[in-house]
Structure 1
């Protein structure tokens, strides 16, 4: 039984500092979560209901918005519940599940952005081959890749974590993170397998990020040759590029702070740093695509005009 955790309940210590103003935070968090739901569900429904948008670019965007619902839903309901209770606890199984959702959400974002970059690369740099390459079958394979890869990687990661014997129950964050759980392992426990897999995963997704950046460099080079391509780039690629930059800045900052940051700063600031990737991309992304992509913008304006009538 040495490989079985003796800790069955975790305490989320990151919530403690918010308790003095918890009702105000509860109201803001609930409002923000509703905004995330409204924006992403609206774009998903627009794409599903409009047959003119049943194209690879918009189907990938629909997958992107579904992920924008998936991640925050793994955090906000539990956080809102914690604000209404005096004891901020989470079960061992619930903590592992939340850690899985947080990690897979972040990596799904990067995977989908990489696939979207590939789609734009084929559309702009290889237009004659686009429809043959981006067939329904290939599109399905790419979507499965963007979702199943993070799910498989983090299933293995959490399986390794679940075999560790833990000697502490306090998590200094608002939610569970696999790296933090591993750090709670007893001093005599070998965590090298979890650490190796963790760093391997980081390397894989850093390489995926470089692939996405490399793809956009080729797109920019290709678009600089003609005015028509530059217009196409501004309409379809700028939202993707903005989402990528926003995601990379937020997630890298969070990873660097989690691994190397100081614990001397205020808990409230630590909390904000920890949840940036759950706050910014799920709201910014649908707003960017809604305003920038012509078909979606025209559809939204058409609906608003219909409502006024």
Structure 2
């Protein structure tokens, strides 16, 4: 490949020949995608159609489920095509479109989970003031800010990546991501690396500070409050904490897989680590919230079975 930023295609070399097993993998991936779409769409419909769920916590959840659809759709259709294909190449335009979608999904997920921690803090620690401090207008503003700020950050990141001159076109993954493209550059990538690290640590610091503060206050109320208060805190906070930890672990796997040399690790393990946060989180969230939050579980049963449970 010539020393040019205008490569004609990128080659995804993490795919390997599976022979007739590719049809089995296609079926498994298609089933996962259908399950993710079905579960998230169901919960979005449940929240939108039931006025009793038009409360801040459920509206934030709706935004989260929309983001799961956005992130999984950025990956799964492309993954299905690549599984059946014998040539694993992608155009630069599509590659950068996928980079925008995947990184926006990750950013929206982080910030939404952080805002949800603050929402739970207000609901449990300031129940009498909750509806005056977390109004519908504030929910809309926070949600719009999360999506727009995430898109802006990713666009800035991509504006630093696209002009780079590249000496290669080989990506060691099954999908496009920004750091893999930056590593192909011939020239100086100091600005890209600094921006990426600052962006990552800023997001992590914001998440840790907000979540830690919120849950410290929640725990204090739980230890000094009534049994009913503790029960309410557990029922709403456990799904959120489980979702948060799952996404943090998935993101950690992705960072490790991208930033460190893992050429000695089996290819299947490297693929699993790079896909975990894009596959498990969209599947995990609707199941966790649908099964653990009583109001959602009851309405889902009513909608699916056509009767009141």
TM-score interval, smaller chain: over 0.9
Match of 2:154 in 1: 154
CA apart distance, 1:209:
2.1
CA distance in 1, matches of 2:167, 2:144: 38
**Which residue is equivalent to 1:124?**
124
Number of the residue aligned with 2:142: 142
Cα pair 1:110 1:208 within 8 Å, conserved: no
User: How many residues are matched?
Assistant: 306
Structure 1, unaligned runs of 5 or more: none
* Contact 1:3/1:163, CA 8 A, preserved across alignment: no
**Contact 1:43–1:290 (CA<8 Å) still a contact in 2?**
yes
- Looking at structure 2, the residues matched to 108 and 9 of structure 1 have their Cα atoms a distance apart, in angstroms, of 29
Say if 2:78 is the partner of 1:78: yes
CA contact (8 A) 1:3 1:164 kept: no
| Shift in Å, 1:85 | 1.8
Q: What is the CA–CA distance in structure 2 between the aligned matches of 1:277 and 1:214, rounded to whole Å?
A: 25
Q: Is the 8 A contact 2:79 2:174 kept in 1?
A: yes
Quick one: distance in 2 between partners of 1:4 and 1:142? 41
Q: 1:201 maps to which residue?
A: 199
| In 1, Cα distance between equivalents of 2:151 and 2:216 | 29
C-alpha deviation, 1:22, in angstroms:
1.2
Cα distance in structure 1, aligned partners of 2:3 and 2:118:
43
Paired with 1:9 and 1:131, the residues of 2 have a C-alpha distance of 52
For residue 238 of structure 1, report the CA deviation from its aligned partner. Answer: 0.9
Contact 1:14 1:267 in 2 (8 A): yes
The CA distance in 2 between the partners of 1:305 and 1:80, in whole Å, is 32
Q: Check the 8 A contact 2:3/2:166 in 1, yes or no.
A: no
Whether the 8 Å contact between 2:98 and 2:176 is mirrored in structure 1 is yes
Partner of residue 172, structure 1: 172
* Residue in 2 that maps onto 1:45: 45
Name which of structure 1's ranges 124-133 and 111-120 shifts more when overlaid on structure 2: 124-133
Quote how far apart the aligned CAs of 1:261 are.
Answer: 4.2
The yes-or-no answer on 1:214 pairing with 2:231 is: no
Distance 1:99 1:18 in 2: 26
Instruction: Please state whether the residue corresponding to 1:203 is helix, strand or coil.
Output: helix
Per-residue displacement from partner, 1:74-118 (whole Å, max 9, x unpaired)? Answer: 011111111222211111011111111111111111110011111
The answer for unaligned runs of 5 or more in structure 2 is none
- Give the Cα separation in 2 of the matches to 1:207 and 1:19: 45
How do 1:1-309 and structure 2 match up within 5 A?
A: 5-18=5-18, 21-186=21-186, 189-210=187-208, 211-225=210-224, 226-306=226-306
Aligned counterparts of 2:42 and 2:24: Cα–Cα separation in 1: 27
Alpha-carbon separation, structure 1, partners of 2:291 and 2:200: 32
Q: Counterparts of 2:91 and 2:291 in 1: how far apart (Å)? A: 41
Q: CA deviation at 1:212?
A: 1.6
The CA distance in 1 between the partners of 2:152 and 2:213, in whole Å, is 26
For 1:223 and 1:259, locate their aligned partners in 2 and report how far apart those are by CA, in whole Å.
Answer: 40
- SS of the residue corresponding to residue 11 of structure 1 reads strand
**Compared CA separation, residues 21 and 37, structure 1 to 2 (3 A):** same
Q: Equivalent residue of 2:214, what SS?
A: helix
Q: Is the 8 A contact 1:100 1:154 kept in 2?
A: yes
Contact 1:121/1:215 (CA < 8 Å) preserved in 2? yes
In structure 1, C-alpha distance between the alignment counterparts of 2:39 and 2:261, rounded to whole Å: 33
Distance 1:308 1:26, change over 3 A: farther
Aligned-partner Cα distance in 2 for 1:308–1:21: 44
